[in-house]
């Protein structure tokens, strides 16, 4: 995928880095991007569960007001504020994920990029852009004006 990119401002490949290394580091970065998406889903889960717990509390209040104190008490006792995992609310799951797996993954990806690509990001994508764009087409400019 290597190409002469300097004239268009897309060149990111450090000198001496081969195609296989660019592709491998690109795949590692892609894996990190997938982890980032999973992290977003985890935060969505965290917020949805928190919102559901607040709605559940409101439902309990409404059931009491509607004359169903026993049903409300059972729900309130068993479900309101319940752990989603053993000993954990979702904020604890998010914190553990962020402090563990996510941080380790980011650190390793950054270290590999630093070691093999002089820290440069998205070399694979820059070269893909160069190979797929139509030079001279106004909607295919290499970089912003």
pLDDT of residue 4: 43
pLDDT of residue 11: 86
Percentage of residues in the chain having pLDDT higher than 70? 94
Report residue 44 CA to chain centroid gap.
Answer: 11
Mean pLDDT of the chain: 93
Q: What is the mean pLDDT of residues 59-63?
A: 98
Asked if residues 29 and 113 have their Cβ atoms less than 8 Å apart, the reply is yes
Where are any strands of DSSP class E within the chain? none
pLDDT of residue 53: 98
7: confidence class by pLDDT, cuts 50, 70, 90: low
8: confidence class by pLDDT, cuts 50, 70, 90: low
């Amino acid at each position: 995928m290597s190409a002469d990119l300097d004239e268009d401002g897309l060149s990111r490949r450090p000198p001496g880095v081969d195609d296989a290394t660019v592709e491998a580091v690109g795949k590692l970065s892609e894996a990190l991007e997938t982890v980032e998406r999973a992290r977003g889903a985890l935060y969505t889960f965290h917020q949805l569960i928190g919102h559901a717990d607040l709605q559940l509390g409101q439902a309990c209040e409404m059931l009491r007001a509607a004359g169903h104190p026993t049903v409300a008490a059972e729900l309130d006792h068993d479900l309101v504020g319940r752990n989603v995992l053993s000993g954990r609310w979702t904020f604890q799951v998010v914190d553990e994920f962020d402090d563990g797996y996510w941080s380790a993954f980011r650190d390793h990806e950054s270290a590999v990029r630093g070691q093999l690509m002089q820290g440069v990001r998205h070399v694979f994508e820059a070269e893909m852009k160069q190979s797929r764009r139509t030079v001279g087409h106004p909607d295919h400019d290499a970089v912003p004006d």
